[in-house]
A and B are shown apart, each in its own frame.
Chain A
C-alpha cells in the first residue's frame, strides 16, 4: 500500500552526473502511459498546471522531449501551512524509433494531461509475411 502511495507522488527529474541546474525552479518527471495500438503509439503524461501555451514537444533526431512550464504556486497574502507537493516544470525525454511518422505527430492538452499521438510509418505497420514452403 505504501508503495502505491509513493508512486502517486511527483518525482523530481534526475540529472546526469556532474550536471547542475542553474535555475531555482524544480523540475519533475511526469508520469506517463504509453500505449501501442495497431497504427498509433499513444502517449499520455500527467502535467497538472500546463496548457497548450506552456507545453513544448520537440523532436530532435530520435529524441522526443516533452517540456511543460509551470509557475511556482503562490497565494498572495496567504502563507503555506501544509505542503504535500512542489510545483515546477515538467520534463521527460524518450527515444523514438524510425517507425514513427515524424511529420504526423499530434499533441493536445486537456485537464493537465498531455496526449501525443505518434502514427506509425506505413512501412512499419505490421505486415503478415507469407511463408512459403519448399515445394
Chain B
C-alpha cells in the first residue's frame, strides 16, 4: 500500500491495521476481553493466535459464521479444597466468549484449529467466491 487516498479507501485491512499498530505502541489493549488474540493475515487467510492456558482441548468451541469467528470456552477453577489456603491467587478461571470480525467471509469448511502448550492457533481461509477476481477484457 502506497498510501494514496484511493488505496486507503479500498484497503479493507486499513482500519484493522492502524488499530493494530496503535495497540502495539500502547500498553496492548487495556479494554480487550479474555482471551487476548493476535491476528495475522496474508491475501488468502487470517490466522488467529491466542493464549488460553490450562484448559482442555475439548473445552474450546470455535464457531464460524459469515465473517465472524467466536471463541468460547471455560477454564475450571483451581484445585483448592476445603481447609486449604491460597497464598497467591492470580490465575484466571471461568467462562469466556470472544467474537472477532474479519473483513472477509470465512470458508468454514476449511477452518483448522490446533491447541498446544496453552496456545490456540486457528487458520481461517477466505471464501473462494469472496476473493478478488481478475476480469479478462474481450475484444470484439
Interface residues of A (CB under 8 A from B): 2, 5-10, 31-38, 41-42, 44, 46-51, 73, 75, 77-86, 109-113
Interface code B119-132, partner A: CB below 8 Å = 1, 0 otherwise? 10000000000000
- Centre residue among A5, A6, A31, A78 by max chain B CB count within 10 A: A78
Chain A residues near B32 (CB, 8 Å)? Answer: 5, 84
Query: Is residue B17 within 8 Å, beta carbon to beta carbon, of the partner chain?
Result: yes
Cross-interface CB contact of A78 among B42, B53, B86, B88, cutoff 8 Å: B42
Chain B residues near A9 (CB, 8 Å)? Answer: 27-30, 36
Q: CA separation between A41 and B81, bound complex, in Å?
A: 13
Interface residues of B (CB under 8 A from A): 13, 16-17, 19-20, 23-24, 27-42, 47, 49, 51-56, 78-81, 83-92, 115, 117-119
Task: Decide if B38 touches A7 in the complex (CB within 8 Å).
Answer: no
Cross-interface CB contact of A32 among B28, B51, B90, B115, cutoff 8 Å: B90
Task: Decide if A48 touches B52 in the complex (CB within 8 Å).
Answer: yes
Task: Decide if B88 touches A34 in the complex (CB within 8 Å).
Answer: yes
Q: CA separation between A30 and B25, bound complex, in Å?
A: 22
Chain A residues near B53 (CB, 8 Å)? Answer: 46-48, 111-113
Cross-interface CB contact of B51 among A38, A81, A85, cutoff 8 Å: A85
Task: Decide if A112 touches B80 in the complex (CB within 8 Å).
Answer: no
Q: Which 6 A-B pairs have the closest CB atoms?
A: A112-B118, A48-B118, A112-B53, A84-B36, A78-B40, A48-B51
Min CB gap B132→A, angstroms: 18
Chain B residues near A82 (CB, 8 Å)? Answer: 16, 19-20, 23, 37-39
Chain B residues near A110 (CB, 8 Å)? Answer: 54
Closest chain A residue to B52, Cβ basis: A48
Task: Decide if A49 touches B117 in the complex (CB within 8 Å).
Answer: yes
Closest chain A residue to B100, Cβ basis: A82
Task: Decide if A46 touches B91 in the complex (CB within 8 Å).
Answer: yes
Task: Decide if B28 touches A84 in the complex (CB within 8 Å).
Answer: yes
Cross-interface CB contact of A6 among B30, B38, B39, B117, cutoff 8 Å: B30
Please judge, given known A-B contacts A2-B31, A8-B92, A36-B85, whether A81 and B118 are in contact too, CB under 8 Å.
Answer: no
